[in-house]
Each structure stands twice: as C-alpha cells, then as structure tokens.
Amino acid sequence: MDTVILKGKDVSSRIKENLAIQISNLKLKGIIPCLAAIIVGKNPASKLYVNSKAKTFKNMNCDSEIFTLDSDIDEKDLLFLIEKINNDTKFHGILVQLPLPKHLNEEKILEKINPEKDVDGFHPKNKGYLMQGNPSFIPCTPYGCLKILEYYNIDTNGKNIVVIGRSNIVGKPIASLLSQNTKYGNGTVTLCHSRTKNLSDFTKKADIIVAAVGIPHLINKDMIKDGVHIIDVGINRIDDKSKDKGYRVVGDVDFDNVLEKVSSITPVPGGVGVMTVTMLLSNTVKAAFNQIK
Ligand code: NAD
C-alpha cells in the first residue's frame, strides 16, 4: 500500500504563510501579537515546551513573555498575576503551562483567564462553545489534528473514527471536533479510554484512529484494518542506547509495524507535535484581531 506520511511541518508551513500576512497587517496597525506564558516550577519538559513556543513566536515576528514562578507559589498570587495580564492590553493571549503543582486548583486557574485571551482554549466558556459546535478558541493539539485532516483532504464524513484517550486537553475536544457537522469533522466517533474493554474490537472497525494515550506502541498492526488513517498524538520517551541522549521519542502507535497496512499516518516526531505550537500562534493572532475590533 502507498502510505502517505502526514507531515506536520508541511501543514504548519502552509498555515504560517497565511499567518505571516495577517501578522504584517496587524503590524501596519501598530500591533504585534503577544503571548504571556506562565510556567510554575522547574518541570524540564514544561520549560522546553514554553521555550519552543517563544522561539516560534519570535521567528514569526510576534512577541512572548515567559513568567516563571516558584513551584510553591500561593494560588492567590498566581490568580493575581493572571488578572494583571488579563487587564494588560499588550498581551493578546495567555497560557498557563500544564501540569500545575498539586496544591494549585487547575480549574480555578484556567477559569481566571479572560476567555478572549484564552488561546489554549481551556476556559469553560470556550469548551462550551466547542461543544455547541460554535468554537471560539480551539485547544491547540486537537486543532492541529483537524488541520492535518484538512490539509491532506482526509474524508471524515460518516467514517468510523476511534479516539483513544479522554483527557480534557486532547481526547475529549478531538472527539467533539470530529463529530460536528463540519467538512473535516463529520464522523461517527467512539471515545475509548483506560476502562475500555477489548480496545482492538473498536480499533479494528475504525476508518480513522486518533491515539492520545501516552503509552508507547500501544497500537500495532493486529489491532487495525487495512487502509486506516492514523493520527498519533502520543509523545513518549523510550530507552535507546544508540542515541546520545539515551532515549528516543515514539508515539502511541508502532509506526514501523503498522506502516504497510495504513493509508496514512502521522510520524512521531514530525506529526502532531509541530502543529500544536503553530495553532497556538494562530489562536494568538486571532485573539489580537478580535481585540482590535
Ligand atoms: P492523559 O494522561 O491526560 O490522558 C491519557 C488518556 O489515555 C486517559 O484519558 C486514559 O483514559 C487513556 N488511557 C490510558 N491507558 C489506556 C489504555 N490502555 N487504553 C486506552 N486508553 C487509555 O494524557 P494527554 O495529556 O491526553 O496526552 C496523551 C498523549 O499525548 C501523551 O503521550 C502526551 O505526551 C501527548 N501529547 C502530545 C501533544 C502534542 O503536541 N503532540 C500535546 C498534548 C499531549
């Protein structure tokens, strides 16, 4: 089978071309889209993600400011900072890098972000709009998955789509996006999770699989049918002594094992991950436009 590798970089480049025009138009009005990224504690992965977001913004002539807070920060101080950024017209978007330390109430903190600046799409108001089929800010990773389907013209109309993973930031919003009455999100969606019995009973019937679990190589060729399209959201480190770092990054799908059977698949790395940052930029540019209206 001629398998298509769904390259996030190609999709991202197309989106960035369009964003560059929008960013130039904003500049003519004296506006530079600006993101406030709040990071609590010293989680190396969170730091890496936030730095890579800042780099993308810089490369696209946008601004970002990183607020690094102590891991034992008082909740009320964090809420105060968010309020301050909410009221600062310099910032068009705000994100709080997750996960947060245990003593902080994640829901309360995300709810504090002005929904107009909620470029991660995690505020309950924006989640509600998404459920209604009238999304405002779509969470970046699910949005990136949708854009991949759109770019590669993968038909979802009436298809059996199996989403694996039900997190608030990935699985649930993807399931919602793919079951709406839109061109690239019009499937019959089944949401599988850790309590799903006999996962392969579901995946074997799927025309499209979206894996967002966090278990390396959970999905193999015996669990899928011929010609399936696979979007692999998983980012997992596995030991690999042949690498300088001692590990490599793989997805939730055993890429090499399934390759001969699938119509298309996103690689890890090089698939969805690239898209997440691009859609954050896209949401921030959108927020900047909204705020001058
Ligand atoms: P999470 O831990 O919050 O959720 C994982 C989900 O998987 C849960 O809903 C759980 O029910 C389900 N699950 C666990 N074991 C299962 C099993 N055996 N069978 C079926 N379902 C099972 O994780 P998350 O934040 O949603 O992230 C999922 C993966 O996506 C992780 O690898 C994460 O690193 C990755 N991720 C990637 C990006 C990106 O930009 N590409 C962004 C966010 C998350």
Mean of per-residue pLDDT scores for the chain: 97
User: Of residues 184 and 225, which shows the higher confidence score?
Assistant: 225
Q: Does the pLDDT value for residue 1 go beyond 80?
A: no
Say whether 53 is catalytic: yes
Confidence band of 44 (pLDDT split at 50, 70, 90): confident
Q: Does 21 have pLDDT greater than 90?
A: yes
Atom 21, ligand 1: residue with shortest CA distance = 193
pLDDT tens digits, 194-213:
999 999 999 999 999 999 99
Rounded to an integer, what distance in angstroms lies between the CA atom of residue 83 and that of residue 63?
Answer: 20
Residue nearest (by alpha carbon) to ligand 1 atom 34: 235
Residue bearing the bigger pLDDT, 43 or 82: 82
Choose the residue to mutate in 138, 147, 213 for probing ligand 1, maximizing ligand atoms within 8 Å of C-beta: 213
**Would you state the pLDDT for residue 204?**
98
Residue 166 near residue 193, CB atoms below 8 Å: yes
Rounded to whole angstroms, the Cα distance separating 97 from 83 reads: 16
Residue of 112, 117, 118, 120 with catalytic role: 120
Cα separation of 126 and 207, whole Å? 29
Q: Is residue 293 predicted with pLDDT exceeding 80?
A: no
Kindly report the number of other CB atoms within 10 A of residue 117's CB atom: 26
DSSP three-state, residue 182: strand
Which pLDDT score, from 0 to 100, does residue 287 have?
A: 98
**Minimum-distance ligand 1 atom for the alpha carbon of 271:** 41
Whether omega before 135 lies within 30 degrees of 0, making that bond cis, reads no
Rounded-to-integer distance, Cα 32 and Cα 26, Å? 7
Q: Ligand 1, residue 251: give the atom nearest the CA.
A: 32
CA of residue 211 to ligand 1 center, whole Å: 8
Distance 219 CA to ligand 1 centre (A): 13
